[in-house]
């Protein structure tokens, strides 16, 4: 896909961008609309941002779509979110195939409703041969839970004799996380102005550059995304060195 005009000045592109998509509920409340409408508009922002990634050649995009804590929300809202997820996957999968986007997912996916799991599996399988942007949805995801599951997996490998405990280092441990097939994020974007990680990719963002914008997620557009990438390009990444 050809780069849009606002992106032509971007010279340094992060390989992996992760986004905390915050502000759907506030966006709806400000307009006197139900929260579900905010989530619906937020799904349109996902389309814009994936297109923006394609414009400049981002390889991986991870979206914090539904956290493990989100299960605590009112059942009516959770049910609506699960229906929206299913509808999004069903509608967008043909578009992802056409746009060469490969869909993946991380989290405790077995916690999702069965129909959501089935649709997610179909969408992942349908786009598995694509070679462009890898879109990773974090669903029923929590960073602490991921680390805990990683520790359990590591212990199991040691107990089965597949791994000697003396071999365990950060690289070995990373191979037991949900994200073992992907590089760590270079850039973490959070919308709505909040200054916290909210249990998102706690291990993986150790050296990511953070970009916080007051824009609510449904209002976040391609130019906002490009500006985040420009800011990333202006920073000097030293990874603890001089």
The residues spanned by each domain of the chain are 11-142+183-233
Judge whether 169 counts as a catalytic residue.
no
- Which residue among the candidates 9, 24, 55, 70 is catalytic per the annotation? 70
Judge whether 164 counts as a catalytic residue.
no
Q: Which residues of 186-218 are buried (b: 16+ CB within 10 A; e: fewer)?
A: bbbbbbbeeeeeebbbebbbeebbebbbebbbb
Residue 137 exposure: Cα atoms within 13 Å on the Cβ side: 24
Q: Tell me which architecture the domain covering 11-142+183-233 has in CATH.
A: 3-Layer(aba) Sandwich (3.40)
pLDDT in single tens digits along all 242 residues of the chain: 444 455 789 999 999 999 999 999 999 999 999 999 999 999 999 999 999 999 999 999 999 999 999 999 999 999 999 999 999 999 999 999 999 999 999 999 999 999 999 999 999 999 999 999 999 999 999 999 999 999 999 999 999 999 999 999 999 999 999 999 999 999 999 999 999 999 999 999 999 999 999 999 999 999 999 999 999 999 987 766 65
- Which residue among the candidates 22, 55, 186, 224 is catalytic per the annotation? 22
């Amino acid at each position: 896909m050809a780069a849009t005009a606002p992106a032509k000045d971007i010279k340094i592109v992060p390989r992996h961008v992760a986004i905390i998509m915050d502000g759907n509920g506030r966006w709806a409340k400000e307009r006197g609309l139900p929260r579900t409408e905010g989530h619906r508009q937020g799904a349109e922002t996902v389309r814009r941002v994936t297109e923006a990634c394609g414009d400049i050649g981002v390889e991986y995009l991870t979206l914090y779509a539904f956290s493990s804590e989100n299960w605590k929300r009112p059942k009516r809202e959770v049910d609506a979110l699960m229906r929206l997820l299913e509808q999004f996957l069903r509608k967008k999968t043909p578009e992802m195939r056409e746009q060469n986007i490969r869909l993946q997912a991380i989290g405790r996916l077995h916690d999702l409703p069965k129909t959501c799991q089935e649709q997610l599996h179909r969408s992942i399988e349908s786009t598995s041969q694509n070679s462009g942007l890898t879109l990773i949805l974090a669903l029923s995801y929590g960073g602490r839970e991921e680390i805990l599951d990683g520790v359990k997996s590591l212990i199991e490998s040691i107990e089965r004799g597949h791994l000697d405990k003396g071999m365990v280092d950060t690289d070995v441990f990373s191979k037991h996380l949900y994200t073992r097939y992907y590089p760590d994020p270079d850039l973490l974007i959070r919308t709505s102005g909040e200054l916290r990680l909210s249990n998102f990719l706690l291990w993986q963002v150790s050296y990511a550059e953070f970009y916080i914008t007051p824009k609510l997620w449904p209002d976040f557009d391609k130019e906002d995304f490009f500006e985040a990438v420009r800011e990333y390009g202006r920073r000097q990444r030293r990874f603890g060195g001089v």
